[in-house]
Amino acid sequence: MSFLISLDQRYRTNSLITLFMQFSLPMPRAIALTNYVKSCNTKANFVINLQLIYVARAERSHQ
């Protein structure tokens, strides 16, 4: 979880999409999560919402 703390909104859109896709998310889901995360206006919200990666990853691993 510690790597989430170092992430912030300076990440480019492509970097975030790549990050999400590393967790085997389909492209539309990766783009949707990226747009949602980029819409956050505080670092705290950004980090909290990045935890959605783990939710989505868990969803896929149980299918």
Residue of 47 and 33 predicted with greater confidence: 33
Q: Reduce the secondary structure of 5-52 to three states and give it as a string.
A: HHCCCCCCHHHHHHHHHCCCCCHHHHHHHHHHHHCCCCHHHHHHHHCH
What is the per-residue burial (b if ≥16 Cβ within 10 Å, else e) of 41-62? eeeeebbebbebbeebeeeeee
Domain tally, the chain: 1
Tens of pLDDT, residue by residue over 9-41, are: 455 566 777 777 777 778 888 788 777 777 765
Domain limits at 20?
Answer: 2-61
Structure pTM? 0.42
